[in-house]
Chains A and B, each alone.
Chain A
């Protein structure tokens, strides 16, 4: 329990299950960060922050602290 986007390693993927805060910016949801969508960590800047993600085909970067609010189930690479 409690895996978030912040726990992903470069190249790993997950499915968004829930968002653990009401403070999550609406803009992030609008860009596709919604339960049920797939997320992949594309690249990280030094100190693993910010994180460059591919969410549901949308490429965007968010800070680690925001990433830690988005709960996921990890997908195993086939």
Chain B
């Protein structure tokens, strides 16, 4: 087998880099993580002409090789390390035609590293509308490379790009300009100190330390070479940037013409409305409202269908497999638990769909712009809006999305308050409780249940804002406030990109959640099916003696619930019951809450497991029906309006997600912040639930 060509896709954010990646690899792609850090690593395979294959790596978007975030640093680390197995044979620099000038800055930097670099100019379909024309041969000559003019929207030029990749050996590796002229004497000394190293690489290593903290490198210990202060180095970096732009302006004078009279002002027209002082906010809230309507109301059709399918499946397993311990575990524990997650696929997919569309279309930047001033009052940044919105899907990617917040204090506060936003793992709990305790009536076309859900989202968001405000007052970190955000042009989201994102994220959610639920269901089932001592093992005799009037199904039910109460889980539950009784819960809900500290979505599966073990019935009861029929010892219902609201508030505020705690630990680099989060959020949740239940009961 011939060697694969290693290709790295590099480019500014918003250039359609991911679309190029999707066009090259199709469905042959995997998403993982770089070892040790939580930056997403996307790679895939691409078939080239003549049976050659290319390994394509989609690197995080960056404006230059001067890293200021963890994601951007991945790009530099790779390009500086020739021994990395992913070190590119050829770089494809993806640029968009409208921002060619800015994109070329990164291009000239990579060229200076003497790596073959193809320039892929994307979005060529908009050239005519924007009055842009390019002189490709002239650009190729001045930039010392080959150019592929592509449009991922119209699917043109991809074959040219593939052709260029397979012939990467013909590309020149000569740099575009000589950056060392910004301080000739300094660069001469640097080269003398490390004669075996490439000069621009040395410079990047030195400035990377300034930009991004000390890196240990065995091959070149640049720390000895400290002849300039940080301020001087920063000034040199500025000079370098200016010099690069001078070169680029020269190139584009010949290679690019823009006839402004032919340009259509689509951006201006949209911006006039979408960033308007009043309409901007009205539209933003209308969009949010639509999202909630969709995930609550529209998603119920496929959800009811899935619910019924799982109830049938469970029935089918019970009747088909030989009855026994294993069959019970599969039917009552595993299928019920997995069903509790699978049912939420429609809602989670809807959420990811909307977020993907908002990001892809360029609208999210406008929201950041509109919200920055308001968010700053609470110690947040306009960029905190993105984590707070995507936190409605899952707090983990949301916390990773805080990386582009430049100011550390604003970033820390965002990380700390993001788990208050209503993530999709809370949905299973919310939906089932709302369904039980809120009447299913309509009010001007909006259902009460949808309004209740909306209210929970608002409560979560307000709590996030309020705690940010408090944290802003408490935290004494001093850091420079600074904020730059690109306002990309509006684009119609590509179906393929959005579809792949939704598919990928939903898959991850289901498998991650599924794994935890599977494990916990099995444990809970085991603990519920076995117990110590006489009262568990002789349940039949004891119950029959105590209730001589019972017979048949009623007797079986009484035995099952007696057994459950004296099983291991029953004993644990009874022990913690005093702590949760003031909140209006019984011990079964207590077990659900305790297991939810692993992950919230476990709640439904846990209850399903406990309830199914606790009844002898073989009817086709769904989880919701079982919960509705649960009663206290005195016959009163367990899930009332008061206990329901109390439970909803507990889940709204409590920090019940181990994965989020782990990610906070990684992003803040200490256990201190996740522990503070866990402690304070749990206390807030307990108090809120306590007040609600005592007040409403």
Q: In the complex, what distance in Å separates the CA atom of A50 from the CA atom of B367?
A: 12
Is A30 a contact partner of B487 (Cβ separation < 8 A)?
no
**Chain A neighbourhood of B101, CB < 8 A:** 32, 56-58
**Chain B neighbourhood of A60, CB < 8 A:** 484-487
Is A32 a contact partner of B102 (Cβ separation < 8 A)?
yes
* B63 lies within 8 A of chain A by Cβ: yes
Interface size class of B (residues with CB under 8 A): 35 or more
With contact pairs A22-B235, A30-B64 given, residues A45 and B98 touching in the complex (Cβ less than 8 Å): no
Q: Could you say which of B73-81, B236-244, B504-512, B561-569 contacts chain A?
A: B236-244
With contact pairs A43-B271, A45-B373 given, residues A57 and B234 touching in the complex (Cβ less than 8 Å): no
Is B234 a contact partner of A50 (Cβ separation < 8 A)?
no
User: A43-78 vs B: 1/0 string, CB under 8 Å?
Assistant: 101110110100011111111011000000000000
Is A63 a contact partner of B487 (Cβ separation < 8 A)?
no
**Chain A neighbourhood of B66, CB < 8 A:** 26, 30
* A2 lies within 8 A of chain B by Cβ: no
Q: In the complex, what distance in Å separates the CA atom of A43 from the CA atom of B487?
A: 11
Is A61 a contact partner of B105 (Cβ separation < 8 A)?
no
Is A59 a contact partner of B63 (Cβ separation < 8 A)?
no
Is B487 a contact partner of A31 (Cβ separation < 8 A)?
no
Q: In the complex, what distance in Å separates the CA atom of A27 from the CA atom of B487?
A: 14
Which residues 29-47 of A sit at the B interface, judged by CB distance below 8 A?
Answer: 29-32, 34-35, 42-43, 45-47
CB nearest neighbor in B for A60 = B486
With contact pairs A22-B231, A45-B372, A46-B277 given, residues A58 and B486 touching in the complex (Cβ less than 8 Å): yes
The one of B245, B275, B369, B482 in contact with A66, judged by C-beta atoms closer than 8 angstroms, is B482
Is B487 a contact partner of A29 (Cβ separation < 8 A)?
no
With contact pairs A45-B370, A46-B373 given, residues A61 and B242 touching in the complex (Cβ less than 8 Å): no
**Chain A neighbourhood of B99, CB < 8 A:** 57-58
The one of A23, A50, A58 in contact with B372, judged by C-beta atoms closer than 8 angstroms, is A50
Could you say which of A30, A42, A66 has the most chain B C-beta atoms within 10 Å of its C-beta? A30
The one of B235, B237, B238, B483 in contact with A62, judged by C-beta atoms closer than 8 angstroms, is B483
Which residues 355-407 of B sit at the A interface, judged by CB distance below 8 A?
Answer: 365, 368-370, 372-373, 382, 406
* B625 lies within 8 A of chain A by Cβ: no
Is A59 a contact partner of B488 (Cβ separation < 8 A)?
yes
Q: In the complex, what distance in Å separates the CA atom of A57 from the CA atom of B234?
A: 25
User: B212-233 vs A: 1/0 string, CB under 8 Å?
Assistant: 0000000000000000000100
**Chain B neighbourhood of A23, CB < 8 A:** 480
**Chain A neighbourhood of B275, CB < 8 A:** 43, 45, 52
Is A61 a contact partner of B63 (Cβ separation < 8 A)?
no
Q: In the assembled complex, how far is the CB of residue B462 from the closest CB belonging to chain A, in whole angstroms? A: 20
**Chain A neighbourhood of B368, CB < 8 A:** 61
Q: In the complex, what distance in Å separates the CA atom of A62 from the CA atom of B234?
A: 21
User: B473-498 vs A: 1/0 string, CB under 8 Å?
Assistant: 00000001111111111000000000
Is B486 a contact partner of A59 (Cβ separation < 8 A)?
yes
Q: In the complex, what distance in Å separates the CA atom of A26 from the CA atom of B98?
A: 22
* B68 lies within 8 A of chain A by Cβ: yes
Is A27 a contact partner of B245 (Cβ separation < 8 A)?
no
**Chain A neighbourhood of B105, CB < 8 A:** 30
Could you say which of B242, B275, B487 has the most chain A C-beta atoms within 10 Å of its C-beta? B487
CB nearest neighbor in B for A49 = B373
Is B483 a contact partner of A66 (Cβ separation < 8 A)?
yes
Q: In the assembled complex, how far is the CB of residue B305 from the closest CB belonging to chain A, in whole angstroms? A: 44
- Tell me the interface secondary structure of chain B in the complex: helix
The one of B406, B480, B483, B489 in contact with A50, judged by C-beta atoms closer than 8 angstroms, is B483
CB nearest neighbor in A for B368 = A61
With contact pairs A52-B487, A65-B481 given, residues A29 and B369 touching in the complex (Cβ less than 8 Å): no
Which residues 68-91 of B sit at the A interface, judged by CB distance below 8 A?
Answer: 68
Q: In the assembled complex, how far is the CB of residue B100 from the closest CB belonging to chain A, in whole angstroms? A: 9
**Chain A neighbourhood of B64, CB < 8 A:** 26-27, 30
With contact pairs A25-B406, A46-B277, A49-B373 given, residues A30 and B241 touching in the complex (Cβ less than 8 Å): yes
**Chain B neighbourhood of A28, CB < 8 A:** 484
Q: In the complex, what distance in Å separates the CA atom of A38 from the CA atom of B481?
A: 25
With contact pairs A27-B63, A58-B102, A59-B488 given, residues A32 and B277 touching in the complex (Cβ less than 8 Å): no
Q: In the assembled complex, how far is the CB of residue A68 from the closest CB belonging to chain B, in whole angstroms? A: 12
**Chain B neighbourhood of A32, CB < 8 A:** 101-102, 245
**Chain B neighbourhood of A31, CB < 8 A:** 63, 102, 484, 486
**Chain A neighbourhood of B489, CB < 8 A:** 59
CB nearest neighbor in B for A19 = B238
**Chain B neighbourhood of A49, CB < 8 A:** 372-373
**Chain B neighbourhood of A59, CB < 8 A:** 267, 486-489
CB nearest neighbor in A for B267 = A59
Q: In the assembled complex, how far is the CB of residue A27 from the closest CB belonging to chain B, in whole angstroms? A: 5
Q: In the complex, what distance in Å separates the CA atom of A28 from the CA atom of B235?
A: 14
**Chain A neighbourhood of B365, CB < 8 A:** 61
The one of A22, A34, A50, A61 in contact with B241, judged by C-beta atoms closer than 8 angstroms, is A34
Q: In the complex, what distance in Å separates the CA atom of A15 from the CA atom of B277?
A: 27
Q: In the complex, what distance in Å separates the CA atom of A30 from the CA atom of B242?
A: 8
Q: In the assembled complex, how far is the CB of residue A9 from the closest CB belonging to chain B, in whole angstroms? A: 15
**Chain A neighbourhood of B241, CB < 8 A:** 26, 29-30, 34
Is B369 a contact partner of A52 (Cβ separation < 8 A)?
yes
Q: In the complex, what distance in Å separates the CA atom of A29 from the CA atom of B99?
A: 15
**Chain A neighbourhood of B485, CB < 8 A:** 60-62
The one of B242, B267, B480 in contact with A34, judged by C-beta atoms closer than 8 angstroms, is B242
Q: In the complex, what distance in Å separates the CA atom of A34 from the CA atom of B239?
A: 10
With contact pairs A26-B66, A56-B101, A60-B484 given, residues A34 and B370 touching in the complex (Cβ less than 8 Å): no
Q: In the assembled complex, how far is the CB of residue B368 from the closest CB belonging to chain A, in whole angstroms? A: 8
Closest A-B pairs by Cβ, 3 of them: A59-B487, A30-B64, A61-B369
A-B pairs with beta carbons under 8 Å apart, 12 shown: A23-B480, A26-B68, A27-B64, A27-B484, A29-B238, A31-B102, A31-B484, A34-B242, A43-B369, A45-B372, A50-B373, A59-B487
Q: Which residues of B contact A (CB under 8 A)?
A: 63-64, 66, 68, 98-99, 101-102, 105, 211, 231, 234-235, 237-238, 241-242, 245, 267-268, 271-272, 275, 277, 365, 368-370, 372-373, 382, 406, 480-489
Q: Which residues of A contact B (CB under 8 A)?
A: 22-23, 25-32, 34-35, 42-43, 45-47, 49-50, 52, 56-63, 65-66
Given contacts A34-B242, A60-B485, A61-B369, 17 further A-B contacts (CB under 8 A): A22-B234, A25-B406, A25-B482, A26-B211, A27-B64, A31-B63, A32-B245, A43-B275, A45-B369, A45-B372, A50-B369, A56-B101, A59-B267, A60-B487, A61-B483, A61-B487, A62-B485
